[in-house]
Structure 1
Amino acid sequence: MNLANSIAPETKAAEPPTSLDVVNAFDEFMSAFESFKDSNDERLGQIERRIGGTDVVTEEKVARISLALDRQKETLDRLVLKNRRPALGGAGRSAVDVSEHKAAFEAYVRHGDMAGLKRLEAKAMSASADADGGYLVPVETASEIDSRLAAISPIRSIAQVRQVSTNLYRKPFATSGTVVGWVGETESRPQTDTPTLVDLEFPVMELYAMPAATQTLLDDSAVDLDQWLASEVDVAFAEQEGAAFVSGDGNKKPKGFLSYPTVDESAWAWGSLGTISTGAAGEFAASNASDVLVDAIYALKAGYRQNANWVMNRKVQAEIRKLKDADGNYLWSPPSTADARATLMNFPIVEAEDMPDLAAGSSSVAFGDFSRGYLIVDRLGVRVLRDPYSQKPYVLFYTTKRVGGGVLDFDAIKLIRFGTV
């Protein structure tokens, strides 16, 4: 890889999009959706009339408009994100402390001057003031990385997130409530069984990135180093942790919800995720295709449905976008506003590209309350170690954060399996 091409940051912030840009993008998206509905109606009409199957030209047109919809939604999401990006700030710390830390960190990044950071960490009685372990980035940079991760990483945006100061988070969970019973006024009261508790453990794993810069770049006072560092690592962090939250095996990374044991919903038990089958290998059933979606919704208890989301990748969403109910209404609905999500049967859709494509036996659609079903554990702080020696003339910035994750409540997430069993 050409390092020179990978490290060039913008020397000034790009102009934020205006509200008019967002409105125009949303209008174009809705116009494309109307075109999609018209073309898909034509396709379905050809199938119903049985005139030798669907016309190839119509199929290609539907697929082309569906792809355009995906691209326009990505553009719309990007504009909304830029328009709503929060201002950086140092909540909970005095302006003097924030400014002093920022100045000391900038001196370390630009010139390798560790004196200011050592003084600050000694004053704060930090246990990790040794330069070999790196230095905590200023709160502005850490907040910027965290906020972008929440926006970019789809599972992080809907899961429960806890911050810890150790390498392991333990969570007791009651899998059964207190047993109660009815008795007469003068009858004896036998002792009831105690609640069943399980001790769930969520270790944090190290996630790293190593952006590079030339000393000439670092000497350029026009470059905002906080912004540059955040922009270099946020996408890399989000892509890696996003994949782990879906399918990570738990070995040196978080354990994804698709890596846990599964069982048919009719035989569900704690420790496994319940599945509902479509009845067809690698696809929806030929008739009443939407029934499996209804079954998935009502496999979830009412308390979980209130905050439930669909999770799937864009290819699966493209297939679901073509489905209609018995009255001819599309099950998939576009977002009602520019910053909202598309919905399926009135539940929001979260697009996660790490979810599997349709295949025989694949669990390509998840439905559930991820804020109760999946836990992400972040260890406080993002650290940076400056390395001007390993790859001269570039200065490397070994940037690390610690994150873990796993299923918290096995009853809160259901999977649709594209198979006969």
Structure 2
Amino acid sequence: MMSHIETKSASDDVSAAFEDFARAFEAFKETNDVRLGQIETRLTSDVVTDEKLARIDHALDETKRRVDHLTLQRARPPLGANTEAFRDPVLAEHKQAFDVYVRTGEATGLKRLEEKALSAASGPDGGYLVPDVVEREVLRRLASVSPIRAISSVKVISGGHYKRAFSAAGPASGWVGETSPRPETAGPALSEMSFPAMELYAMPAATQTLLDDAVVDIDRWIAEEVEAAFAEQEGAAFVKGDGVNKPKGFLASDTVEDEIWEWGRLGTVQTGGPDFPATNPSDVMVELIYALKAGYRQNATFVMNRKTQSAIRRFKDENGQYLWAPPASLGQAATLMGFPIVEAEDMPDIAVNACAVAFGDFKRGYLVVDRAGVRVLRDPYSAKPYVLFYTTKRVGGGVQDYAAIKLLKFAA
């Protein structure tokens, strides 16, 4: 009965936060309409109205953060006794051996299991593989909180690199009659893309008292502790990483004006200045949308940070309708002109020459590479009385289709 009450309470919290968010947006629209009316009659807006709008705008962002956090918390299933690890004897044995290692440092069981699996007992930095169910939970959590991972293609590999061939021009082809000779087509010029998996680490700490507590779910504790650290590092790397000991972010790609776009670069649409145009500012957003080919556009997503989204939130169409729309229901994204918006705080703010808005089909445009296996090395010595858990995974990433992503550049 108690668990039912807690679940209902959590659900009520999410619903209440979502209702607060909807009310905040209505207040935002009302106040912004007043501001626009003042500009039309006085050629300037009232300072009090501007300050009120700024406060509501901030409250809108804070309420959205609360909704996102509560929705994520509610979506997390427990890693307890109902997991598949208790139904599969091999997984159950691994889970039990891992639990003993984390709590006591005894690694005999894990060594025996990894020797049976014909794998090395430890990686270059030491440590042991976590059970599969924990690894999947870590990746599932990352998909929920790492914004670019959530919308990109993800490939799991067993080696250190993922390589794929590509042809920028595509193979030659043509039409022929039923009985006409088939002339030989020119073979495509193939190149190779390489996506190395780099090491990402986190180092959660625990007291021995916590580890000795049999009620504590060690699997869940590990997943929760590394989630935020991994997601923060991934989020930055997938957006702006330079590719040196980390994935290469899509903003690290070379860019070129979309009119002269070529493979190997991302096309940009210019705003005409260091900010949105003073009149008809949404026109550049329309231009950005239609810079993308129709085949990519149908599954496209806007990517920007909250500050940029705050500026765009005020845009209206010729009929006076706001172009930004709040989520239609819990768990959904806000939309701009009908396309979902993903908030990535590592995207740059609006500034001179900044590519502050990306628009594209990231499933086709960006690839995340995960090397199978998450390792944990127990260290009870370096930070006594705490026990450190050096947790590593290998991940890479990069643009795989340069036609699938376009950038809005704030430049003339």
Give the TM-score range, shorter chain.
Answer: over 0.9
User: Any gaps of 5 or more consecutive residues in structure 2?
Assistant: none
How many angstroms does 1:214 deviate by? 2.2
- 8 Å Cα contact 1:310/1:365 also seen in 2: yes
Pairwise CA RMSD: 2.1
User: Which of 5, 18, 22 does residue 10 from structure 2 map onto?
Assistant: 18
How many angstroms does 1:178 deviate by? 2.4
The C-alpha deviation readout for 1:43-89, integer Å capped at 9, x for no partner, is: 1111112x151111111111111111111111111121122224547
- 8 Å Cα contact 1:154/1:352 also seen in 2: yes
| Change in CA separation of 1:47 and 1:101 when aligned onto 2, cut-off 3 Å | same
Residue 76 of structure 1 pairs with residue 76 of structure 2: no
User: Which of 36, 43, 62 does residue 44 from structure 1 map onto?
Assistant: 36
How many angstroms does 1:347 deviate by? 0.2
Residue 285 of structure 1 pairs with residue 277 of structure 2: yes
User: Which of 192, 201, 220 does residue 213 from structure 2 map onto?
Assistant: 220
The C-alpha deviation readout for 1:329-352, integer Å capped at 9, x for no partner, is: 000001100111000000000000
Distance in 2 between residues matched to 1:189 and 1:356, nearest whole Å = 52
Distance in 1 between residues matched to 2:86 and 2:168, nearest whole Å = 40
Distance in 2 between residues matched to 1:77 and 1:255, nearest whole Å = 27
- Equivalent positions of 1:136-147 (< 5 A) are 136-147=129-140
In structure 1, what is the equivalent of residue 97 of structure 2?
104
- 8 Å Cα contact 1:169/1:377 also seen in 2: yes
- 8 Å Cα contact 2:197/2:394 also seen in 1: yes
The DSSP-based 3-state class of the residue aligned with 1:364 is strand
Residue 351 of structure 1 pairs with residue 375 of structure 2: no
How many angstroms does 1:188 deviate by? 6.3
Identity across aligned pairs (percent)? 59
In structure 2, what is the equivalent of residue 196 of structure 1?
189
TM-score normalised according to structure 1 size: 0.92
Distance in 1 between residues matched to 2:378 and 2:173, nearest whole Å = 61
**One-letter identity of the residue aligned with 1:78:** H
The C-alpha deviation readout for 1:348-372, integer Å capped at 9, x for no partner, is: 0000000000101100000000000
How many angstroms does 1:138 deviate by? 1.5
How many angstroms does 1:126 deviate by? 1.7
How many angstroms does 1:392 deviate by? 2.2
In structure 2, what is the equivalent of residue 316 of structure 1?
308
User: Which of 352, 356, 359 does residue 360 from structure 1 map onto?
Assistant: 352
In structure 1, what is the equivalent of residue 373 of structure 2?
381
In structure 1, what is the equivalent of residue 364 of structure 2?
372
Residue 249 of structure 1 pairs with residue 235 of structure 2: no
- 8 Å Cα contact 1:122/1:129 also seen in 2: no
How many angstroms does 1:176 deviate by? 2.2
In structure 1, what is the equivalent of residue 115 of structure 2?
122
- 8 Å Cα contact 2:78/2:220 also seen in 1: no
In structure 2, what is the equivalent of residue 262 of structure 1?
255
Distance in 1 between residues matched to 2:55 and 2:98, nearest whole Å = 49
Residue 113 of structure 1 pairs with residue 106 of structure 2: yes
TM-score normalised according to structure 2 size: 0.94
Deviates more, 1:78-87 or 1:103-112: 78-87
Residue 63 of structure 1 pairs with residue 54 of structure 2: yes
The C-alpha deviation readout for 1:105-153, integer Å capped at 9, x for no partner, is: 1111111101111121122222345796210112232122111111111
In structure 2, what is the equivalent of residue 7 of structure 1?
none
Residue 304 of structure 1 pairs with residue 271 of structure 2: no
Deviates more, 1:268-277 or 1:224-233: 224-233
Aligned residues: 406
The DSSP-based 3-state class of the residue aligned with 2:44 is coil
- 8 Å Cα contact 2:302/2:341 also seen in 1: yes
